[in-house]
Structures are given as structure tokens and as C-alpha cells.
Amino acid sequence: MTRFSANLGFLFTEMDLPQAIRAAKSAAFDAVECHFPYDTLPAQMKEALAETGLRMLGLNTWPGDRSAGDFGLAALPDRVAEARSEIARAVDYAAAAGVEAVHVMAGRTDGGQAAEDCFRANLNHACDLAEAEGITVLIEPINTRDVDGYHLSTIPHAERIIDALARPNLKIMFDCYHMQIMQGDLAKTLERLLPKIGHIQIAAVPDRAEPDHGEIDYRWLLQRIADCGYDGLVGAEYQPETTTKAGLGWMKHLSGR
């Protein structure tokens, strides 16, 4: 039986974060995750998690100035100090609130060696900080149709980084939506990558709505990877067609409950 995590960056967004955690519990999610929780005090998040008994699986580093085109900082050679400050803030927040993983956002780059060297150095730094707190660092390939120029957009690139850095607490966040757009062949890729995967996320393709339609048969795919040994939670990171509550029928279909 697949267990699902509500991504509160997209779900229950009409509420503040503690309320959204409670709403996720009421909707029978098994865990939660978020994007940028920094307007909420860590103690407030921790209190809501304790009240509901839910785990907070992950959060993102601050992406920078989105209005100026930023979508992460860690691979930008001219912004190392800012990137490391945000990595530290994310790890500190995660440690204080009981969050299990930090997704370090690379950002848009020219794809050159300087950007790659910068990203790897910042990831090593992030792993050092996170290791001391028992926190996992995640990297996520993001499709270039939605985020043009994102530094990390393919699984082979993510694998090269994982292999080169060889940090036990560095894992791949495999978002099926992004990877269907970039490469497809999800089942075989997930099976091969399982030891390197820290989290899996889902959404319909191509519209990124509820995962009960579109190009991917998630009921089949999730059963396939469960049969291969994946026992982690699956993040519901989709944009509801109407309201979160109105679109939750997919959960029963995919979970087998």
C-alpha cells in the first residue's frame, strides 16, 4: 500500500502552514513536505507535527529573487556567500522543526564548468552541515520546459554528482513529472536508481494536476517500484485543478486503500 505525503507548497495553500499540516492529517495523508516555510516559526511547525503525528519530509533552500528570474542559488559562482547562507538557514530550520531533508536548489546557469564546480562545492558544504544534524540533502532534476536553463535537469547529471561526491546523506529527489517530460522510461530508471533515491514525487503529465490522468499510469508505476523494494513515501506535488479537497479522489485509487 503506497503512503502519500502532501506537498504544502501546492496543496492547502489557502491556509497557513500549521493549519495546512492539520488539513493534510484530516485528508488522510501519511506525511507532509513543503517548499519555503520560513515565514512560519520552526516551533509552530513542530507543534503542528507533534499534534498530528505527521513527519515533515523536506523543505527547499530559498530560491533567491523569483521576480528577477532566480530559481535557486547553489550553482551560481558569483553568489556563493548568499547560497551558503541560505543553505545554513535551511539546515538550521530543518533541525529546529524536525524536518528530515533539505532540497538544495541549483538555479539557472549557463551549464558551464564553473557552475558545476560551484554546485558541487556548495553541495559538499550542505552535506557537512546536514550530516551533523542527521539530515539528508536532496538534489532534484527539474525539466527545462518549465524552468529554462535550470542547471540540473537530467538523471545522468544527478548521478554523476552523487557518484563524484560520494556523500552518504546526498540523494536524488525523483519527481516523476519532471522526468517524464525530460526522458520518460520511468519504471526502469526508478528501479535502477533506488539506492540513490531519497524521495519520489508525482503529478499528472503534462498539466501537473492531480495524478489520476495523463501520460503516466501511477497505479501501475507505484506498484512496480514497491515490488522492487521502494518503501518510502510518495510526495503529492501537484497543482490542484480546483481546490485541494475537491481533487483528493486520486488517493484511494492509487493507494489501494
| Catalytic residue numbers, as ranges | 140, 237
* Residue 236 and residue 6 in contact, taking contact as beta carbons nearer than 8 Å: yes
Strands 31-33 and 55-56: parallel
DSSP label of 245? G
Q: Which helix (H) or strand (E) holds 254?
A: helix 250-255
Cis check: omega of the bond before 211, within 30 degrees of 0: no
Give the span between the Cα atoms of 200 and 18, in whole angstroms: 23
Give the span between the Cα atoms of 150 and 107, in whole angstroms: 6
Closest C-alpha to 175, from 73, 105, 75: 105
Which residues, including other chains, have CB under 8 Å from residue 139's CB and lie 6 or more apart? 103, 104, 106, 123, 152, 158, 161, 162, 170, 171, 172, 173
* Residue 2 and residue 230 in contact, taking contact as beta carbons nearer than 8 Å: no
